[in-house]
Amino acid sequence: MVYKLSTLQKALLKAVSSGGSKAVTKAIVATLLSASTFLCSPITLANRSLSMESDAFTVQVYNSRNQTEHLKLNYTQAVRLEQVLADTIANITLLPTTEENSNQPVYWTGAGLYRGFPHPNKASIIRQLEKASELVDPTERDIFRQLATQLNQLKIGERVFTPLDYDLVRINKASNPIISAQQFPGPMTLVLPSRPDSVWVLGAVQHNSEQPWVARTSANQYLEQVGTTSYSDNSTATIIQPDGTVEMHPIAYWNKDHMDIAPGAIVYLGFNNLPTGYQSLNDEIINLLRNKAL
């Protein structure tokens, strides 16, 4: 839907009057973008005494990195993370949503702040998987290549690992860092997804794939759905929760204590007996997947 300029202006003014007054004092430009064209002219909510300086930076706000439409917030000076979150919340009604998640609240557990996309190590890790596939038994090659293909398709950026819970950020200075162009020279990306209904199961498995999330389903149960391999770790799976937290879940039959897996998490099963020179590949993949955006 293409908004007329006057309609969008009214929506912005309504958002500000209902709790976004700080946006005026922090020089925000809110612009609704489509894949390649502006849906409307930029609307500036700014303090005229502020001038554009080298400290200017941009935050792009998405419901999902799988969508192209987003809200754009431009700042003329450094601000704290609390201000970015407050401005986003004040203007969140302008954020495009799909029909299925239009009434869904933000899934803050899976929210992420990113310096940019893609992650600087993504291409290198994919190349390592492809090279390692040439050094393993022919029966293993397809699994390495399958994982490389899947990693290439996932939206993986350079994540800033900081809490995004607004109440925590507001009251805890350590969780409220300064955001500036010096620290983040490129446009930053803030992803505020609705809660997904799936988890990803990746690694030394027969079918790297997305599986339906079911409450109290264990790592071992998710792995049974995709099939494990003879060259995978048979004692522990690595769980990457939506906030990037890494957990080790036992999967061996003698040690199956239940541990919860959140919607949007990743279940990663490591490779055993990696080729010489590639022994750190499992750890590199896990560190990369911590940066996956919902």
Average pLDDT over residues 239-267: 93
Q: Which two tokens stand for residue 98?
A: 């799909």
Second CATH level (architecture) for the domain 196-289:
Roll (3.10)
% of the chain at pLDDT higher than 90: 69
Q: Can you spell out the DSSP letters for the chain?
A: -PPPHHHHHHHHHHHHHTT-THHHHTTEEEEEE-SSSBSS--EEE--TT----TT-EEEEEES-TT---EEEEEESS-EEHHHHHHHHHHTGGGS---GGGTTPPP-GGG-EEES-SS-TTHHHHHHHHHHHHTTS-HHHHHHHHHHHHHHHHS-B--EE-----HHHHHH-GGG--EE-TTT--SPEEEE-PPPPSEEEEEESBSS-EEEE--TT--HHHHHHHH-B-TTB-SSEEEEE-TTS-EEEEE-STT--------TT-EEEEPBSSPPTT-TTHHHHHHHHHTTB--
Per-residue pLDDT of 109-143, as tens digits, reads 999 999 999 999 999 999 999 999 999 999 899 99
Question: Which of the four pLDDT bands, split at 50, 70 and 90, describes residue 100?
Answer: low
Q: Is the pLDDT of residue 20 over 60?
A: no
* pLDDT computed for residue 23 by the predictor: 40
C-alpha closest to that of 218 among 240, 197, 237 = 237
Paired strand residues for 237: 249
| Dist CA 153 CA 69 (whole Å) | 19
Selected residue with higher pLDDT from 285 and 256: 285
Which residue's structure tokens are 């004040």?
90
Q: Is the pLDDT of residue 227 over 50?
A: yes
| Dist CA 252 CA 269 (whole Å) | 12
Question: Which of the four pLDDT bands, split at 50, 70 and 90, describes residue 102?
Answer: low
Tell me the one-letter amino acid at 10.
K
Q: What is the mean pLDDT of the chain?
A: 84
To 10 degrees, the CA torsion angle through 136, 139, 142, 143? Answer: -80
- Select the highest-mean-pLDDT range: 47-61, 169-183, 276-290: 276-290
Selected residue with higher pLDDT from 134 and 44: 134
* pLDDT computed for residue 99 by the predictor: 64
Domains of the chain by residue range:
5-116+159-191, 196-289
Selected residue with higher pLDDT from 197 and 26: 197
Average pLDDT over residues 40-56: 43
- Select the highest-mean-pLDDT range: 27-41, 66-80, 144-158: 144-158
In degrees and rounded to multiples of 5, residue 153 shows phi and psi of -85, -25
Question: Which of the four pLDDT bands, split at 50, 70 and 90, describes residue 96?
Answer: confident
